[in-house]
Amino acid sequence: MSPARAFVYILYFRLIRNVGPAKAITVTYLIPAFAMLWGFIFIDETVTPIMIVGCSVILVGTALATGMLSFGRSR
């Protein structure tokens, strides 16, 4: 295993310890949104309206999963 990969694993497991596994896994949901953004910036890919809608769904779902956005009664 390379030293860089070992360092990333340490960071990831520290993230799990600090915020919990449910919140730590939500990082993976953001990969498609960032892939679209980097493709647009660096290789001039076309961004379609359906891609924007998909990224919006991803961001709202991630916000709901992490508790940043909530519907219903507050505690």
Question: What's the full length of the chain, in residues?
Answer: 75
Q: Render each residue's pLDDT in the chain as its tens digit; 75 residues.
A: 789 999 988 998 998 999 888 888 888 888 898 999 999 999 999 999 999 999 999 989 888 888 887 777 665
Determine the pLDDT at residue 7. Answer: 93
Instruction: State residue 49's pLDDT score.
Output: 96
User: Is this prediction's pTM over 0.85?
Assistant: no
- Which residues neighbour 30 within 8 Å (Cβ) at sequence distance 6 or greater? 58, 59, 62
Extents of the domains making up the chain: 21-75
